């Protein structure tokens, strides 16, 4: 049985300003049958697998091709023109749930991040997250900017990728756990609360992280966990 995949053909796209002059876009009621998709995903619980290819702290499920095609068409029709994005050259998407307890996180998972690593010249990346959970207390998405100089941030990220948790914590005075709000290294410049069937779309170069407000309530059950659909769209930049 194929899941429902119909995106709203007439979406209302709200531009949400960030405190640093940037912005993201929010679309509520983006799917015509989000409940049907959520029910289908609940039936796929055993098909989710631990993420082993990036820093995402949880589990994932690759979507059927019909969903990948639908989100690609929606991006091209309604979203690509809002960014420095002339032509879509690569797209990835997956369903995901944050599941790791705070004590199991590696140092690089204590920090906000961006999605624009290793992009070739002339290519931008846009990212999206669709909330498919109803418990808004599980948290939305926040955006950040550095609060210290670039060299300090570079050292912080390098240490987070190479040092054991105890050594990293001792060197930088950072406690293990999910990042929520501003700290001495990063300033929160905006936040989008979670809402069922809400899509958030943003430039992948923006520092961001999920707001994991209640890690003790995380679950690997799609019916109750922090279930999202994440998309990444690499595009040729507009001609200068």
User: 17-59: per-residue pLDDT in tens?
Assistant: 999 999 999 999 999 999 999 999 999 999 999 999 899 999 9
The answer to the question of residue 1 being in a domain is: no
Residue-range definition of the domain harbouring residue 121: 14-236
The answer to the question of residue 151 being in a domain is: yes
The answer to the question of residue 2 being in a domain is: no
The answer to the question of residue 7 being in a domain is: no
| pLDDT number for residue 4 | 67
The answer to whether residues 19 and 83 touch, using CB atoms and an 8 Å cutoff, is no
How many domains does the structure of the chain reveal?
A: 1
- Reported as a single tens digit per residue, the pLDDT across 109-134 is 999 999 987 888 899 999 999 999 99
The answer to the question of residue 4 being in a domain is: no
Apex 202 CA angle, 20 and 218, nearest 5: 100
The answer to the question of residue 174 being in a domain is: yes
The answer to the question of residue 5 being in a domain is: no
Is the predicted pLDDT of residue 105 greater than 70, yes or no?
Answer: yes
Output the CA–CA distances (angstroms, integers) from residue 232 to 23, 104, 146, in the order listed. Answer: 17, 26, 23
- Reported as a single tens digit per residue, the pLDDT across 187-200 is 999 999 999 999 99
Tokens of 105: 């996180």
What pTM does this model have?
A: 0.94
> Which CATH number covers residue 114?
2.60.120
């Amino acid at each position: 049985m194929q899941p429902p995949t119909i995106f709203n053909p007439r979406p209302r796209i709200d531009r949400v300003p960030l405190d640093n002059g940037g912005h993201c876009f929010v679309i509520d009621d983006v799917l015509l049958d989000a409940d049907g998709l959520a029910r289908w995903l609940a039936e796929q619980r055993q098909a989710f697998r631990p993420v082993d290819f990036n820093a995402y702290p949880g589990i994932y499920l690759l979507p059927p091709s019909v969903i990948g095609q639908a989100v690609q068409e929606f991006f091209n029709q309604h979203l690509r023109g809002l960014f420095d994005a002339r032509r879509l050259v690569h797209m990835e998407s997956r369903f995901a749930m944050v599941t790791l307890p705070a004590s199991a996180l590696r140092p690089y998972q204590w920090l906000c991040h961006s999605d624009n690593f290793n992009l070739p010249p002339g290519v931008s990346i846009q990212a999206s997250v669709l909330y498919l959970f109803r418990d808004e207390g599980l948290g939305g998405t926040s955006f950040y900017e550095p609060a210290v100089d670039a060299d300090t941030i570079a050292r912080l990220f390098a240490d987070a990728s190479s040092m054991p948790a105890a050594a990293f914590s001792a060197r930088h005075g950072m406690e293990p756990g999910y990042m929520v709000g501003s700290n001495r290294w990063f300033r929160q410049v905006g936040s989008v609360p979670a809402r069922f069937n809400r899509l958030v779309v943003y430039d992948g170069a923006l520092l961001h992280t999920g707001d994991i407000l209640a890690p003790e309530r995380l679950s690997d059950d799609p019916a109750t966990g922090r279930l999202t659909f994440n998309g990444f769209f690499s595009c040729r930049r507009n001609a200068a």
